[in-house]
Every structure is written in C-alpha cells, then in structure tokens.
Structure 1
Amino acid sequence: MSYDHVPDDGTNPLRRLSLADLRRRTSAKWRAYPPDVLPLWVAEMDVMPAAPVARALTEAVALGDTGYDSGTGYAQALDAFARKRWGWDGVAVERTATVADVMRGSVEMLKLVTGAGDAVVVNPPVYPPFFGFLEHEDRRVVEAPLGPGGRLDTAALEAAFRQAAAGGRRAAYLLCNPHNPTGTVHTRAELAAVAELASAYGIRVVADEIHAPLVLPGAEYVPYLSVPGAEDAFALLSASKAWNLAGLKAAVAVAGPGAADDLARLPEIVGHGPSHFGVLAHTAALRDGGEWLDAVLAGLDENRRLLGELLERHLPGVRYLRPEGTYLAWLDCRALGLGDDPAAVFLERGRVALTGGLPFRTGGAGHVRLNFATSPELLTEGVRRMAAALP
C-alpha cells in the first residue's frame, strides 16, 4: 500500500503529509530506525507548523534576529491564552520565569525547594525522564503508582508523602497533568485532594503541564495552581507539545502566590537556557495559533476513536486506555503473550516502532505507548503491522 498521496481535506493538519514527505525529516522520530520501520513512538506530530509560527520564524531570519531571548512576551502570551482558553488568571507575569524547557524547568523548581538526598514523589507509569533527571540531581524517587483506570490513587499518594517527608526532611511531588503516558486528565476534585495532602505533609508540588492545551473532547484541563491549597506550588507550561515545537526549546515556569519568594531565588543563569527562536515560536503559537490547535484537536479526536476501532478489529487482546488528553495511547498488551517488552516484538516482527513500557517503571511491563498524532492512513498501517507481529 502506498502512502505517498494522503488525502488532504484542507482542515485536518494531520492529513497534509505523505510518508514520503515525512521520511525527508531528520528529527529523532524519523532517523532512529531504518527506513522500513513505521515510527509511532516519540512525541512528535506529523504536521506542518501553524502559519503564525512559520511566519514568526521566517520574519526573524529575514531580519537576522538570531540573538538572545529578551522580555516577557512569552509569559504575556501564555497569560492571555490561559484566560481565553481555560478561564484561568493565574499566570501572573511577575511570578513567571522563562526556562529552557518543561523538564529542565521542573528540575530547577525542585532545586529551589529540595536538596540533595531529599525525596520527590512521582506517579508511575510516568514519563521516563522524570526518573533520569531526578536521579541525576541526587533526589530520591518515591513512587505512588496510579490506581485503576490510570487515575491518581489518594491512598498511595498519602503513603508516599508520609515516606517522603519522614524525619522532617524537605520533599516534593512532581505531578504530570495531563498524565504521560496514560492520557489521564486529572479532575478538579482529584487535584484538590492532592493539594490537601501536600499541605498536610509539607510537600511542595511542581506540576508538569506541558500537555495542557491537548485536552480532548469530554475532559477539562484544570491548572493545578487554580485549586485551593496550591498557592505554594509551581507549574511548568509550554507550547511545545501542542504545536509540535520540541526542536524550538522554551517554557514558562509559573509560581503560585505562596511560591513567589522561592521563584525569586532562581539563579539568573537559568534564564540563559531558552532559545530565542523557541520563545518567538511559542509566543506566536499561543497568541495566534488557536484556530490551528482546534483543527489538530479535532483530528486527534478522530484518531483516538479510529485507534479504538482498529484495535478491536485487529488486536482485540489489547486493552486500550482511551486517553482524555495528549496524543499518546497507553496499550496493555499483556494478554498477547509477548513478554515484558512487547514493543521489541512489534519492532522486530512488525517493523513498527512504539515506545516500550518498561522505562515508565512500575506498571509499565507488558505495555507500549503509541503516538497517534499522524494521518489515519499511517495509524491504520501501524496497527496492521502490530497485528502481523503476533505469533
């Protein structure tokens, strides 16, 4: 089957590029595996940039505007976007800092409120760099695994908070909201329970909210800083995932009112990390890219439904945790008998690359993460290849 002529209906950004177009790219998604492998793994979308983003970058190059980042335009754009999109006025520009990216920024916030040897709570299965960065910064990882359906488990959180804060040591909680890899979008009630527990145990919360703009129909993104009791927390937000800007690094750290003094201690050198082009691109996306984002969300919603149908037809043994947000599907493949790392089998036998579940730690064995931010045609071919890999 050829994918060189993907139908373009003019409205869905996910239907503009053929496989031949995509294979010309030199990013990780398209260069990590041989050309006969269909990549549905890393968090890159198969889209062209939103027109406002492309325009901002093109104009900067034409001007030779290739120097260092300056000003608060990014935070101001995020504030306006948050007010319009989420009805949230918590992005106070005076309580923000521009940082290199969400993960690095999360670490910098954690360094403000914890020290070497202190504990940080996480909810596995969760984004693997959480573990790598925390361990690199000499923080102890304490797990509070997600409960049934990929939801936050209050009892597990309380036990982890108690363990993390034992002996009166400083401790923190690195929250993923929405959650990667399950696509869970935490509810206001769930987040309010987190804030209550964090206050009771003296836990400082840092919320990675990079997927916030990617909440799909049927769910609502709730900024952690908007819930009662979260005043001393931090949030990290970015246009990176929603507008496919991973190669243009920049993010915004937002402090709650009770964390403003902590943010003021952020070393000036941290602000040297963001890319000027990144800031320009993210600012343009947030300010002028809403229509493009709506089109992407509609396409992702269609693909979310299509993936469920394809799995039911071709891989009925796979349990599909229907994501409420992100463009990532967390697939339970344990019933297929492919062992702890089914991604390796799908790659070897089916020539389709997925992200294996093991690096997500507890709850990851026997699972894969599939990126469905592609054309329906390539998504269909990916599932077909997965089915062909079965014994």
Structure 2
Amino acid sequence: MTRIPHEPSGELNPLQVLSLDQLRRRTSAKWRTYPDDVLPLWVAEMDVPLAEPVVRAVTDALALGDTGYASGTRCAEALAAFAAKRWNWDGVAVERTAVVPDVMTGVVELLKLVTRPGDAVVVNPPVYPPFYGFVGHLDRRVVEAPLGADGRLDPEILEDTYRRVTEDGRQAAHLLCSPQNPTGTMHTREELATVAALAERHGVRVVADEAHAPLAVGDEPFVPYLSVPGAERGLSVMSASKAWNLAGLRAAVALAGPAAAEDLARLPEEASDGPNHVGVIAQTAALTDGTPWLDALLDGLAAQRSLLASLLAEHLPGVRYRPGAATYLAWLDCRALGLGDDPASVFLEQGRVALNPGPTFGTGGEGHARLNFGTSAEVLTEAVRRMGRAAARHGGAG
C-alpha cells in the first residue's frame, strides 16, 4: 500500500490564517485553561479555521434546524470513499461499521465486547494518557509493553507481554495507538502484520485507535490495521476529528475485520445512540469534500515540523527530537536539560508556554514533554524562544 500523492490544493495554509488576537477569542479548553500570557501548545486542538465545506454543511444544518438525533451510515460511507482514495484501501465495509459518539467512547465499547472485568489491556507507552483512565474506569488492568529505544513497537517485548497476560487463560486485548500519540510514529505494514500474528498466536484481541490516521505528514503511508494479513479479528475506531479540528463536533466510526463482525454486531444500541448529529454532518463533509483543505494543512504541518527542529537546534540544543511521520505532535526528550521529571512545569512557570507533561504518558515519559506544533510559525517561534530562556533561567543545559 502506497500513499497517494496529492496535488497542490491552491488553498491557503490553514495554520497561517488566524492571528493570536483572534485565537484568544476562542473559548475552548486550549485557550481558556491558562492565563492570556501563556502560549498554549498542549491539548490536541489546532490553530486553524474550519474547512469551508464543513462550515457550509454545519451552517446549512443549523439553518434547517437539523439538530436532531444522528442516523444512517453516511459517515461510514464517506470514510470508505476517503480510505479508498487516500490509502488505496477498500476495506471499510459499511455493513461492518457502527457510528459511535467519539473515539474513546468507541474504544471503550469495543473493549467491552472482547474482554471482561479484570482482564488485561496492553498499551505501548509513552502513549495517549486517557488510555490509562478509560481502561481503569472500565475495570480492566492496564499492562504496559513499552516502545523500544527507537520509538517503535518492540516485537519481543510485545510477545512477552502477550504471553504473561494470557497465561492464566484470561482474555486480553491490545489497545494499539496508530499513528502513535505522542511520538508521531507511523507503524509500518510489517510491524502491524507482526502485531496481528502475535495477537493471533496468543489469543489477544487488537483494538486500534486510528484517530490521527489522515495526518500522515511525510511520504510514509498510513497503513490501516485492518488491512494487514492476520488482522481479520481486529477492531478499529477512526474519526475526522483530529485532522479537521472537530473535537467540538464529535463522532467516530467503529470498524470490524471480517472475523470480528459478530463481535461488532453485539454492540448495544445505546452505544450508537450518542453521536452528535451535527458532528456526523461535519465529519461527513470533511471526509467527502475537505481533502484540499487537508492537503494544505499537511503541507503546513510539514513546514512546521522542519521549523521546530531548527528552532530547537538554535534555542534548546540539549533537547532530543525525532520528527514523527504523522500527527501535529512532537515528543521532546528534555532529560539533558536537567529540568526534572516534568520539564513542562518549568516551561509553564518560567517560560509561560503550556505543554503536556511527559509523565502522564506512562513509562518512558519522565523528562519529556509533548508539544503541539499545529499553530502558526510566529507562535511556534516565540514559544520555543521562551522555552529556551526558561531552561537557561532554570540552569538547564539549553
């Protein structure tokens, strides 16, 4: 499977449209959690206007008063068409999908289908912090199989973990983050096929969180987990929310491999009653007509990724940063700066820049911070300059 290249969209870089003054008028968590003197580069919201097709679809729905309950399969149909065109993958069988309220709600519902209370759910830290909270609240045990030193899945660690969590005959699942949040790692077809083979060998059910799937920044293609050999019993959740900045218009699509169709069919009716109808409309429009906007965004994110590397080399040369192949998130190794286990607290208190604390991402998070570079070049530049000054004031080896 190869990534299908895109032509220049002719659209403006969405990251360079809104001024800082305009952004500070927003009332979302990103812009209201901290005081106005803080540059927020933390939660997964981008500093972009919405794609025009999304605005048009939502505006039309509001004008009609079309704000009732969600129904139908149009979001899944739009995802199927997008996957076929974008990833050259015809594997989204609409009859094996279900619309769910959002990605994490979908993940929880799928885990309920394939595990029981007390069963283990394997995760690969450093990884999206809500995995720990949602799985724990579900009364399942989080078991870590950390990424390797290269930031990639380690087959030996994974197999050993699979063996341990199933040796007493209990069921187990693997909550796979693909692409990986916070590292931006894009799992290869070979790596995913290895996961599928090991999971089948040990009777582990894989549930893939593929929320960042459309955000392949470089030339490396995104590979859907359900597209690899051996993943027929796998399950996945996809959404347009991350790529088109639709966290406030939530919806997601749960997908089942051919051998998991009966599992998905057991999804209770109430699990599909919660999607936001306007969110479904927005996400359908994004997947159907929002590709030119997405392409312009990806070009902008590629430039931001390069800019971030240059800024770190200039202002924080002690930080190790391995650019990821997907997402608008950067995983910063700040251990050489001497800022302690939570460098984000230093950058906030002394630099007035908000990042996500590394320790919340599980094993391997100490001394790290997650930075969201889905913002303008001006904001990113000022933020890294502030971080450099903060590290210097703290006595770190900037």
Identify the TM-score tier after normalising by the shorter chain: over 0.9
Amino acid at match of 2:71: S
Between the aligned partners of 2:186 and 2:147, the Cα distance in structure 1 is 13
* Matched-pair contact (CA < 8 Å) for 1:343–1:354: yes
Q: Quote the residue 2:61 is aligned against.
A: 60
Q: Quote the residue 1:188 is aligned against.
A: 189
Q: Quote the residue 1:71 is aligned against.
A: 72
Structure 2 runs not aligned, ≥5 long: 1-9
Amino acid at match of 1:383: V
* Matched-pair contact (CA < 8 Å) for 2:342–2:366: yes
Cα drift, residue 388 of structure 1: 1.0
Between the aligned partners of 2:164 and 2:128, the Cα distance in structure 1 is 22
User: What's the secondary structure of 1:150's corresponding residue?
Assistant: coil
Deviation track 1:272-310 (CA, whole Å, cap 9, x = no partner) reads 111001100000000000000000000000000000000
Amino acid at match of 2:374: A
Q: How does 1:233-272 map to 2 (within 5 A)?
A: 233-272=234-273
Q: Quote the residue 2:83 is aligned against.
A: 82
Deviation track 1:222-279 (CA, whole Å, cap 9, x = no partner) reads 0000000000010100000000000011000000000000011100010111100110
Q: Quote the residue 1:197 is aligned against.
A: 198
User: What's the secondary structure of 2:211's corresponding residue?
Assistant: coil
After superposing the two structures, state which structure 1 stretch, 182-191 or 9-18, moved more: 9-18
The number of residues matched between the two structures is: 383
Cα drift, residue 10 of structure 1: 6.1
Deviation track 1:337-381 (CA, whole Å, cap 9, x = no partner) reads 000000000000000000010110100000000000000010000
* Matched-pair contact (CA < 8 Å) for 2:11–2:296: no
Cα drift, residue 104 of structure 1: 0.9
User: What's the secondary structure of 1:174's corresponding residue?
Assistant: strand
Between the aligned partners of 1:217 and 1:351, the Cα distance in structure 2 is 31
Tell me the percent identity. Answer: 69
Q: Quote the residue 1:31 is aligned against.
A: 32
CA gap 1:200/1:10 in 2 versus in 1, 3 angstroms: closer
Between the aligned partners of 1:105 and 1:90, the Cα distance in structure 2 is 19
Deviation track 1:2-29 (CA, whole Å, cap 9, x = no partner) reads xxxxxxx962110001100000000000
Q: Quote the residue 1:353 is aligned against.
A: 354
User: What's the secondary structure of 1:45's corresponding residue?
Assistant: coil
Deviation track 1:184-239 (CA, whole Å, cap 9, x = no partner) reads 00000000100010000000000000000001123110000000000001010000
Deviation track 1:110-138 (CA, whole Å, cap 9, x = no partner) reads 10010000001000000000000000011
Q: Quote the residue 1:386 is aligned against.
A: 387
Q: Quote the residue 1:157 is aligned against.
A: 158
Deviation track 1:51-86 (CA, whole Å, cap 9, x = no partner) reads 000000000010010100010000000000000000
Q: Quote the residue 2:299 is aligned against.
A: 298
Between the aligned partners of 2:197 and 2:160, the Cα distance in structure 1 is 14
Between the aligned partners of 1:320 and 1:276, the Cα distance in structure 2 is 40
Q: Quote the residue 2:229 is aligned against.
A: 228
Amino acid at match of 2:175: L
The root-mean-square deviation of aligned C-alpha atoms, in Å, is 0.8
Q: Quote the residue 1:116 is aligned against.
A: 117
User: What's the secondary structure of 1:363's corresponding residue?
Assistant: coil
* Matched-pair contact (CA < 8 Å) for 2:11–2:293: no
Amino acid at match of 2:22: D
* Matched-pair contact (CA < 8 Å) for 2:107–2:209: yes
User: What's the secondary structure of 1:293's corresponding residue?
Assistant: helix
Q: Quote the residue 1:374 is aligned against.
A: 375
User: What's the secondary structure of 1:168's corresponding residue?
Assistant: coil
Q: Quote the residue 1:208 is aligned against.
A: 209
Between the aligned partners of 1:65 and 1:176, the Cα distance in structure 2 is 34
Cα drift, residue 315 of structure 1: 0.4
* Matched-pair contact (CA < 8 Å) for 2:315–2:388: yes
Amino acid at match of 1:180: N
* Matched-pair contact (CA < 8 Å) for 2:11–2:292: no
Q: Quote the residue 1:280 is aligned against.
A: 281
Between the aligned partners of 2:218 and 2:134, the Cα distance in structure 1 is 32
Matched, 1:172 2:173: yes
Amino acid at match of 1:356: P
Q: Quote the residue 2:3 is aligned against.
A: none
Q: Quote the residue 2:49 is aligned against.
A: 48
Matched, 1:344 2:342: no
Amino acid at match of 1:111: K
Amino acid at match of 2:209: D
CA gap 1:267/1:10 in 2 versus in 1, 3 angstroms: closer
Between the aligned partners of 2:349 and 2:36, the Cα distance in structure 1 is 13
* Matched-pair contact (CA < 8 Å) for 1:91–1:254: yes
* Matched-pair contact (CA < 8 Å) for 1:149–1:321: no
Moved over 4 A (4+): none
* Matched-pair contact (CA < 8 Å) for 1:240–1:249: yes
Between the aligned partners of 1:155 and 1:273, the Cα distance in structure 2 is 39
